[in-house]
Amino acid sequence: MRLSLSKLYFFLLVVASLSFVTACNDSTFIGSDLIDDSEFYGSYTTDTLTLTTNSFKADSIITSNVLANGSHITYLLGGLDDPTFGRSKASIYGQLSLPNSSLNLGSNLQLDSVVLTLQYTPNTTPYGDTIDNKVDVNIYEMAESMSYGKPYFANQTFAYYPTLLGRIAQTTFAAADSVTIQKYGTKIDTINNVPTQVDDITTETLAPQMRIRLSNELGYRLLAQSGTNNFKDNASFRDFFKGLYITTNTDAKVVASISPFGSQSGITLYYSNSLGKGKSTDFVFNGAWVVNSFENNHTNTEVGNALTQTTPTEQEYVYVQGMSGVGFTLNMPYLSSLGNAAINRAELELTVKPDSYSLFTPPNKIDILSVLNNRQYGGLKLTDATKQTTSDGFVKYKLIFATAGVAAGFPVSIQYLQDKLMGEYTDRNDRLLINFLQETPSRAIICGPNHPEHPMKLNLIYTPITE
């Protein structure tokens, strides 16, 4: 019985993937030192398939709480000044939540202080210029409401009042340093055999965080809402106090990873009441809506020039940048030149431009997405690759298209290539982006298809089909 062509493709793909026999190594095979083809009987290898690329702005990503791939944990704060990519800035807009409904702080209220705490994301380090690393962190009150639950994108901004609520000048992002604070309160002590309320001071060591004193005016305003309708529930509170705008000076050169939903992030109101000193209540970001806003100015830069080239070409360099910066499309215009063939294995090999990452380290991971031509995102993730350093000191990414049972969580992405070879998916393009680019400040200059020493390569093993 004669197999149909599509069934024959699938049959050969499965057989080739499961066979562990030694291939007949033809001396004309290309790239056998790059992909081991010894397990594929009768196969050919190539790494010379023409690839073309072009860069695009990656600004259509959701940066509010819930993303398509789960919870948004890390938010970025700060700025970068990169001669290749230009100037970038990351700011945060955030609503706050009441500690409980119908909040009443008691009687005879007196303000001590009000402090904003921003907890650093655990196990992260500031990114960028860690020598010229002083920043001004500025806090403003939002004048425009956010819609809780509405997706917001990376270029979203909101109106805010120009008067500073708080500021910490020329600070460093000390993401690895724990913080020790003093807590003031009262305790009962026995004086002359009489139980007496006395002042008490204790110390507490906390996870790495930034603490910014906010204005007393805000503290008095919050105290005045105790027991009122504005403290009835979160909706009423957010109508009264729309949230915070957290930003840095425009010439900042370093970015920190912030965890607004961390257990210690939020506004703490310190006060005393008729029951004693050392009282506090927290208004937290948890349960509220928080948006990361990114600005990327690529004007008069190498990346800016690349963005003006709309036609895919065999470029010498391509670019990926976090903070909703840039990515690039990958095109394989002559994939059909393989003819009738079953693709057994495929690996896209990328090399980071040597000597381009002394200050700006490349990202840990890069993704490939298959995206509809009229969209930037929301596509099918084909595979990803983790950064690796070779024995000769080059930084590379090797993105392997998975076969069945490999790379759990991904589709059988080698079948996607097989379908493209057969003329399908003409309505889609393949885009390379930094993994979790809304949470990653990293960037990389990638050697493109036309690089003279480290060209981008698609290493293929395929089996010709003869009917």
* 104-157 tens-digit pLDDT: 999 999 999 999 999 999 989 999 998 888 999 999 999 999 999 899 999 999
Whether 8 shows a pLDDT value over 50: the answer reads no
Sign of the CA dihedral running 139, 171, 297, 439: negative
Q: How far is it, in rounded angstroms, from Cα 368 to Cα 372?
A: 13
H or E element, residue 292? strand 290-297
Question: CB within 8 A of 342, min separation 6: which ones?
Answer: 9, 12, 13, 16, 418, 462, 463, 465
H or E element, residue 318? strand 317-321
Residue 425, Cβ neighbours under 10 Å: how many? 16
Average pLDDT over residues 221-250: 97
Q: How far from the centroid of its chain's Cα atoms is residue 54's Cα?
A: 22
Question: CB within 8 A of 426, min separation 6: which ones?
Answer: none
Using one digit for the tens of pLDDT, what is the confidence trace for 292-306?
Answer: 999 999 999 999 999
Q: How far is it, in rounded angstroms, from Cα 423 to Cα 333?
A: 11
Closest CA to 79 of 131, 140, 126: 126
Q: Whose structure tokens read 């921003």?
A: 118
81 CB-side CA count, 13 A:
10
Sign of the CA dihedral running 420, 425, 429, 435: negative
Model-level pTM? 0.85
The one-letter amino acid at 148: Y
Closest CA to 22 of 49, 42, 45: 42
CA distances (Å), origin 310, targets 40, 85, 278, 320? 39, 18, 62, 16
Using one digit for the tens of pLDDT, what is the confidence trace for 236-262?
Answer: 999 999 999 999 999 999 999 999 999
